[in-house]
Amino acid sequence: MGLTRRHFMTILGAMGLSSCAGRTVTRLTPHIPFVGDGPISFAAINDTHVLDAKSVGIVNRAVASINADQDIRFTVVLGDVATGGRWPELKLARDSFDRLDNPCFVIPGNHDVAPSSPDIYANYARAFGDPNWREDRESWVFIGLDTCNGTASDVTVPPERMDWLRKQLRHIGEKRPIALFTHHPFNPNTKAYRVANADDVVGLFSEYNLRLVASGHYHGNQVEERDGITYVTTACCSTTRDNFDGTPEKGYRVFRLEDDAVAHEFIPLET
Ligand SMILES: [Fe+2]
Ligand SMILES: [Fe+2]
């Protein structure tokens, strides 16, 4: 009997293996028993930094690769879609994401706002809509949180977005698994750019089952676990920017959720 990719991932995870042909594979044991409706797979792309038509090439390759994976139900884009928050950049990126077969949800990065515009989010909103969003998909809740403070690299989530988060959590059952998506990193030991009040934001989830915080901005693969929460940053999916940690790999990440366990795999792309 042949193995599907999902079976392969699950077996790897069960064996505790951590790498395969240059790809990083991690599976963590859930700390709270939870039985969901079945596995959910999704892709996460960050830091495409689209500048011109040429720079969309790697984004199109990511889109084709995601479409070729029949398990993937949706894609999240973790900010820095563009370079200077200009409409032509955002439009080029959106046209590429529009080729995805399944839904795509985007949060802004510090390169997606236009600092000289009266409304710095105007171009972003025209391309991708609300910068904060929540999607309930089967047993999981997925929350996109805008962490931008204008174009700053080091940020604090402002009070009004903390209030928005509190409002989202009000009607979520305490065992229902939650994934949080942010542009700026929450990893407790990220080498740079940790959100200044990351602990306060995570504290809002203390009575809930937050299982994953996936972020961009750092341009490098970093994975760690604290208190049952998986924190991830991923290499950029860009040919106009390098990774901040000096690693050459560019690509995106595929997450596979089963009950409230989080498995994930970095998918490298040709540059
Ligand atoms: Fe970036
Ligand atoms: Fe960024």
What pLDDT score was predicted for residue 38?
Answer: 79
Question: For residue 58, what pLDDT band results from cuts at 50, 70 and 90?
Answer: very high
Distance (Å) from CA 265 to ligand 1 centroid = 20
7, containing H or E segment: helix 5-15
Q: At what angle do helices 57-68 and 87-97 cross, to 10 degrees?
A: 20
**Strand, coil or helix: 259:** coil
37-269 classified as CATH 3.60.21.10: yes
Report how far ligand 1's centroid is from the alpha carbon of 77 (Å). Answer: 12
Q: Distance, CA 46 to ligand 2 centroid (Å)?
A: 9
Is the confidence at residue 11, as pLDDT, over 50? no
Confidence of residue 36 (pLDDT cuts 50, 70, 90): confident
Q: How remote is the CA of residue 109 from the centroid of ligand 2, in Å?
A: 5
Q: Ligand 1: distance of its center to the CA of 6 in Å?
A: 30
With contact defined as beta carbons under 8 Å apart, do 130 and 164 qualify?
Answer: no
Distance from the alpha carbon of residue 208 to the mean position of ligand 2, in angstroms: 28
Task: Return residues with CB closer than 5 A to ligand 2 (ion).
Answer: 80, 109-110, 217
Separation between Cα atoms, residue 178 and residue 202, nearest integer Å: 11
- Which tokens sit at 27? 């599976």
Show me where the domains of the chain are located: 37-269
Give the pTM: 0.88
Residue 17 has pLDDT above 50, yes or no: no
Whether 183 and 215 have beta carbons less than 8 Å apart is answered as yes
